[in-house]
């Protein structure tokens, strides 16, 4: 019998906490004592790195019970983030945060979005793993404010016309490229100017994909997109998301309704349950429990 929750950790990492709990519910739902028999339990992730083909049912249950009872387990924090202090990412990850600065946020929503961005950046610990921890890049994105700018941003430049300026025309502003100076980046987010443009999320995703080439080759690459609404060009957003997911994990944190969330789910990395954080209202973006869900989704090791 396995007595320590640590034995369950690789299973959770491979399959996701939701999958483990589904199995646990099936086993517990059978009623009565669990018979001593061996079964094939498929806990492979979508990329197939881990497989635990022959697990004793009693051992699985004991691992789950031990795991749930251990309040100090970092993975448990990932599974069910609580109110209170923010989690710290202690893994070697390259994280790009896409910060929505569109006009639909409203002044109060913009202030909340900035606060959420600051908190996420400071949660990424560059000093973990002996100084080989998380590094971040942050892109403030909005979109063109008029038709001329829209045409330039979408490639409809008339012959002899000037090329688009991503910052001035498309409202794509790099707060920072990849860096470990996370405290300075967080401070810069607090000083950002609200762009009040449209929501050209497709260009933000394309810009993030271009930034990935400057990441570390041995670090997990993650893109976190914060948004309050559907983008102005859903089809192009889907195409950009598909391209980006081939190179990095794409996590969405969206304050959208049920019908819109299904779209964001189609754009997120798989499994969707691990890569889509549904935010009820804009005010919730900066709440610790929501931020912890985002941090836990992005980071394989938290403290």
Which helix H or strand E contains 99, and what residues bound it?
strand 93-100
Which DSSP category does 246 fall into?
T
Residue ending a domain, among 53, 78, 103, is 78
With respect to residue 30, please indicate whether it lies within any of the assigned structural domains: yes
Distance CA(85)–CA(291), nearest Å, equals 10
Domain that holds residue 60: 5-78
Which helix H or strand E contains 249, and what residues bound it?
strand 249-254
Distance CA(140)–CA(278), nearest Å, equals 20
Residue 98 shares a structural domain with residue 211: yes
**φ and ψ of 136, to 5 deg:** -130, 155
With respect to residue 85, please indicate whether it lies within any of the assigned structural domains: no
pLDDT (tens digit, 9 = 90+) per residue, 133-192?
999 999 999 999 888 888 888 888 766 667 888 989 899 999 999 999 999 999 999 999
Q: How confident is the model at residue 21 (pLDDT cuts 50, 70, 90)?
A: low
Whole-number pLDDT of residue 163: 80
Distance CA(144)–CA(122), nearest Å, equals 30
Q: Tokens for 244?
A: 């980006």
Q: Tokens for 138?
A: 């942050």
Range name among 35-49, 76-90, 254-268 with the lowest pLDDT average: 35-49
Q: How confident is the model at residue 43 (pLDDT cuts 50, 70, 90)?
A: very low
- Total-model pTM: 0.73
Whole-number pLDDT of residue 156: 80
Residue 194 shares a structural domain with residue 138: yes
For every residue of 112-177, which 3-state class applies, written as one string?
Answer: HHHHHHHHHHHHECCCHHHHCCCEEEEEEECCCCCHHHHHHHCCCCCCCCCCCCCCCCCCEEEEEE
Residue 64 shares a structural domain with residue 208: no
Residue 116 shares a structural domain with residue 248: yes
Question: Which residue reads 């600051």 in tokens?
Answer: 118
Whole-number pLDDT of residue 63: 53
Total tally of structural domains belonging to the chain: 2
**φ and ψ of 35, to 5 deg:** -75, 150
With respect to residue 83, please indicate whether it lies within any of the assigned structural domains: no
| Bridge partners, residue 222, by sequence | 95, 249
Q: Tokens for 32?
A: 């009565």
User: Residue 136's closest CA among 123, 150, 147?
Assistant: 123
Q: Tokens for 290?
A: 């929501």
Whole-number pLDDT of residue 102: 93
Whole-number pLDDT of residue 58: 53
Distance CA(87)–CA(119), nearest Å, equals 10
Range name among 40-44, 66-70, 274-278 with the lowest pLDDT average: 40-44
User: Residue 101's closest CA among 244, 241, 201, 249?
Assistant: 201
With respect to residue 198, please indicate whether it lies within any of the assigned structural domains: yes
Q: How confident is the model at residue 1 (pLDDT cuts 50, 70, 90)?
A: very low
User: Residue 13's closest CA among 89, 94, 75?
Assistant: 75
Range name among 39-43, 83-87, 129-133, 213-217 with the lowest pLDDT average: 39-43
What's the Cα-to-Cα distance from 264 to each of 11, 230, 257, rounded to whole Å? 27, 8, 11
Average pLDDT over residues 36-61: 42
Residue 177 shares a structural domain with residue 290: yes
With respect to residue 251, please indicate whether it lies within any of the assigned structural domains: yes
DSSP secondary structure string, 261-292? Answer: HHHHHHHSPSSGGGTEEE-SSGGGGGSHHHHH
pLDDT (tens digit, 9 = 90+) per residue, 193-223?
999 999 999 999 999 999 999 999 999 999 9
Residue 114 shares a structural domain with residue 143: yes
Please, what is the average pLDDT of the chain? 78
Whole-number pLDDT of residue 60: 52
Residue 58 shares a structural domain with residue 113: no
With respect to residue 239, please indicate whether it lies within any of the assigned structural domains: yes
pLDDT over 60 at 9, yes or no? no
Q: Tokens for 113?
A: 């979005």
pLDDT (tens digit, 9 = 90+) per residue, 96-118?
999 999 999 999 999 999 999 99
CATH at 145: 3.40.50.410
pLDDT over 50 at 127, yes or no? yes
């Amino acid at each position: 019998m396995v007595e320590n929750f640590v034995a369950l950790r690789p299973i959770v990492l491979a399959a996701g906490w939701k999958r483990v709990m589904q199995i646990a519910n099936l086993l517990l739902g059978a009623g009565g004592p669990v018979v001593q028999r061996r079964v094939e339990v498929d806990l492979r992730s979508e990329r197939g790195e881990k497989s635990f083909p022959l697990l004793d049912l009693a051992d699985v249950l004991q691992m789950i019970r031990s795991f749930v009872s251990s309040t100090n387990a970092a993975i448990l924090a990932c599974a069910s983030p609580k109110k209170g202090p923010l989690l710290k990412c202690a893994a070697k990850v390259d994280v790009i945060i896409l910060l929505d600065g569109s006009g639909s946020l409203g002044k109060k929503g913009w202030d909340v979005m900035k606060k959420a961005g600051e908190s996420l950046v400071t949660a990424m610990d560059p000093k973990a793993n002996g100084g080989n921890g998380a590094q971040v890049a942050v892109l403030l994105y909005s979109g063109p404010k008029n038709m001329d700018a829209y045409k330039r941003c979408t490639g409809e430049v008339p012959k002899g016309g000037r090329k688009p300026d991503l910052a001035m025309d498309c409202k794509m502003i790099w707060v920072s490229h990849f860096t470990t100076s996370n405290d300075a980046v967080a401070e810069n987010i607090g000083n950002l100017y609200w762009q009040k443009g449209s929501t050209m999320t497709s260009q933000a995703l394309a810009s993030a994909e271009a930034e990935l080439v400057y990441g570390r080759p041995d670090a997990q690459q993650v893109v976190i997109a914060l948004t309050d609404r559907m983008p102005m060009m859903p089809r192009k957003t889907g195409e950009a998301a598909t391209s980006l997911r081939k190179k990095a994990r794409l996590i969405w944190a969206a304050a959208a309704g049920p019908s819109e969330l299904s779209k964001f789910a189609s754009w997120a990395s798989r499994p969707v349950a691990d890569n889509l954080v549904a935010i009820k209202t804009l005010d919730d973006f900066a709440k610790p429990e929501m931020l912890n869900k985002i941090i836990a989704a992005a980071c394989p090791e938290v403290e």
